[in-house]
Amino acid sequence: MKPPQFHGGLNPLKVEAWVLSIEKLFEVFPCSETQKVLLATFTLEDEARRWWMLMRENNKDIGWARFLEVFYDKYFPQCVRDRKVSEFMKLKQNSMTVAEYETKFIELARFAPHVVDTNYKKARHFEGGLRDDILEKVNVLKLETYIEVLDQAIISEANIARQAKLTTDWKGTDLNMNNI
């Protein structure tokens, strides 16, 4: 098994992907908080490695939570995190499919855990971003959980698409009959 590497840079998605991958390793290989830092910093490369070499003298024996604070301060500054929270708060389905919207929703929800810290709040926020034609079919059901809202949104989207196809097919058939 090859641990994920982090080379540096201010790309929040790469930063989050690296942290999530490292934390996935901790699930399989339980270790102390300081050992987590040793394992994580072992995977730093290039600019990130040079940064840690400068930082480690003042951060000996720190735990994982403190390491993440220092790491995020460098590679995922608060202003960037704030922009991700704002992006999440404004997220709407618009022209995306429900599946695409859900992927973006989950990706951005990590940056605003306080907004989705209960299943009910997560369901309401997701529901609020749905396109109007889907929302009107979902919100009348007053669903309690996120997964119920997601399931109904997917079903509603499929029904709307099927109805649109039937209408198009019917209009096409009607026009052909007039030509006879």
pLDDT in tens, 61-109: 899 999 999 999 999 988 988 999 999 999 999 999 999 999 999 999 9
pTM beyond 0.85: the answer is: no
Nearest by Cα to 103 from 82, 118, 115, 88:
88
Residue 177 has pLDDT above 90, yes or no: no
18-57 pLDDT, tens digit per residue, is 999 999 999 998 899 999 999 999 999 999 999 999 999 8
Query: Distance (Å, rounded) from C-alpha 93 to C-alpha 13?
Result: 20
Nearest by Cα to 84 from 58, 51, 108:
108
3-state SS track over 12-76: HHHHHHHHHHHHHHHHHCCCCHHHHHHHHHHCECHHHHHHHHHHHHHHCCCCHHHHHHHHHHHHC
What integer pLDDT is reported at residue 103 of this predicted model? 96
Query: Distance (Å, rounded) from C-alpha 1 to C-alpha 123?
Result: 37
**Average confidence (pLDDT) over 123-127:** 97
Residue 169: how many other CB atoms lie within 10 Å: 10
* CB half-sphere exposure, 143, CA atoms < 13 A: 23
> Measured between alpha carbons, how far is residue 115 from residues 22, 58, 145, 172 in Å?
25, 35, 15, 47
Predicted confidence band of residue 2 (pLDDT cuts 50, 70, 90) = confident
What integer pLDDT is reported at residue 50 of this predicted model? 97
| Residue carrying structure tokens 């109904």 | 152
